[in-house]
Structure 1
Amino acid sequence: MNFAFSEEEMAFLKDFQQYLEQEKAGPDSSVIFAPWRETDSWLVDSPERRGFMKRLAQAGYIGMSWEKQYGGRERPGVYDYLLNEELSSQGAPIIGKGVGCIGKTIIAHGSDKLKQEFLPQILAADIEFALGYSEPGAGSDLASLRLRAERRGDEWVLNGQKMWTTSAHFADWYWVAARTDPEAPKHKGISVFLVPMDHPGLTIKEIKTMGDHRTNEVFFDEVNIGPDYLVGEENAGWRYVCEALDYERFALYTVGPLLLKFEALVELAKVARRDGRPLSDDPVVRDRIAEFACEVEMATMLQRRVIAKAIKGEVPTVEAAMYKYFSTGLGRRIANYAIDCLGPLGLLKSGAPGAPFGGRWEMSDRATVVDTIGGGSTEVQKNIVARRGLGLMVGA
Structure 2
Amino acid sequence: MVETAPVTDELDRYMIEQFKQFHRHPELCDQEKWTTAKITAELHKMAISILDFPIQSGLVAQIGPGDGPTIALRADIDALPLQEETDLPYKSEISGAAHACGHDFHIAALLGAAKLLKERESQLSGNVRLIFEPGEERHVGAREMIHAGILKDVLAISGIHNMPTIPVGTVGMKIGKLMASNDNFDVTITGVGSHAAMPQTGRDPIVAVANTIMTLQTIVSRNISPSDRLVLTVGAISGGHVNNVIPESAGFKGTIRTFSEADRKLAKRRFYEIVNATASAYGQTATITWDQGPAPVDNSEAITNLIANQASQFMKVTDAIPSNADDDFAEYEQLIPGCYAFMGSKGQANLHHPDFIANPEGLKYAAKFHEQAALALLAHFNQKDKVE
TM-score interval, smaller chain: under 0.3
Instruction: Name whichever structure is richer in strand by fraction.
Output: 2
Q: What is the TM-score with the length of structure 1 in the denominator? A: 0.27
The structure, 1 or 2, with the larger RCO (C-alpha pairs under 8 Å, 6+ apart) is 2
Instruction: Name whichever structure is richer in helix by fraction.
Output: 1
Higher alpha-carbon Rg: 2
